[in-house]
């Protein structure tokens, strides 16, 4: 039997009807600067059933408004008010695992990362400066996506999307 391309109506029927908080997987591009990357990550959140956490600042509100192509289907967003480090520490105190996505020594290679068995916050770094050193050292684990090309790193939205798909058990 040959595959048939799904129609927009088929796809709509297969999707969820609301973007409520699932409370198990949050991507935290707390240092990501570019709106196109935030918009791309938002679409991945929708696809895998994850939430997004971003600082509650003018920059992030404007970037998400411009980068968002989902409109009313936008997934759950946790607005981080005040200090980002304090927000991350609070999450950890509440039992969340903090997973930094970064090229780092002794990081877990992506193929060895299994679906997440506990609530997890996924930390993504700034396009030029990466995840702050303090969080690479202090995260519960660090995951690295192996690369064999000549570039130093992947685009942050690509890296975040690959990790989210693994954690959600969809890849």
Ligand X SMILES: C[S@@+](CC[C@H](N)C(=O)[O-])C[C@H]1O[C@@H](n2cnc3c(N)ncnc32)[C@H](O)[C@@H]1O
Residue from 38, 131, 164, 167 binding ligand X (CB under 6 A) = 131
Q: How far is the CB of 141 from ligand X (least distance, A)?
A: 12
**Order of strands across the sheet with 25-28?**
77-80, 51-55, 25-28, 120-123, 97-101, 141-144, 108-109
Q: How far is the CB of 13 from ligand X (least distance, A)?
A: 35
DSSP state of 55: E
Q: How far is the CB of 82 from ligand X (least distance, A)?
A: 23
Nearest Cα to Cα of residue 50 among 80, 79, 28, 72: 28
Residue from 125, 161, 166, 167 binding ligand X (CB under 6 A) = 125
Q: How far is the CB of 5 from ligand X (least distance, A)?
A: 32
Nearest Cα to Cα of residue 79 among 57, 109, 98: 57
- Residue 121 makes contact with ligand X by CB under 6 A: no
Cβ contacts of residue 26 below 8 Å, gap of 6+? 50, 51, 52, 53, 78, 91, 96, 119, 120, 121, 122
Residues pairing with 144 in the sheet: 109
Q: Of the ranges 53-61, 63-71, 78-86, 149-157, which one interacts with ligand X (CB under 6 A)? A: 149-157
The secondary element (H helix, E strand) that includes residue 59 is helix 58-67
Site for ligand X in 54-113 (CB under 6 A): 101-103
Kindly tell me which of 72 and 128 has the beta carbon lying closer to ligand X. 128
The secondary element (H helix, E strand) that includes residue 80 is strand 77-80
Q: How far is the CB of 29 from ligand X (least distance, A)?
A: 8
Residue from 53, 159, 167, 168 binding ligand X (CB under 6 A) = 159
Site for ligand X, rule CB under 6 A: 101-103, 124-125, 127-128, 130-131, 144-145, 147, 153-154, 156, 159
């Amino acid at each position: 039997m040959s595959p048939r391309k799904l129609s927009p109506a088929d796809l709509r029927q297969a999707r969820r009807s609301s973007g409520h908080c699932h409370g198990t997987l949050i991507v935290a591009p707390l240092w990501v600067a570019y709106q196109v990357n935030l918009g791309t990550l938002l679409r991945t959140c929708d696809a895998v059933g994850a939430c997004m956490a971003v600082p509650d600042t003018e920059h992030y509100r404007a970037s998400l408004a411009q980068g968002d192509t989902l409109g009313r289907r936008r997934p759950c967003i946790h607005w981080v008010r005040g200090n980002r480090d304090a927000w991350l520490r609070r999450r950890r105190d509440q039992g969340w695992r903090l997973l930094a996505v970064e090229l780092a020594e002794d990081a877990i290679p992506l193929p060895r990362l299994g679906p997440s068995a506990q609530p997890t916050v996924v930390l993504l770094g700034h396009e030029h400066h990466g995840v702050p050193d303090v969080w690479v050292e202090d995260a519960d684990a660090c995951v690295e996506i192996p690369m064999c090309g000549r570039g130093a790193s992947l685009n942050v939205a690509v890296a975040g999307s690959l990790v989210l798909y693994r954690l959600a058990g969809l890849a």
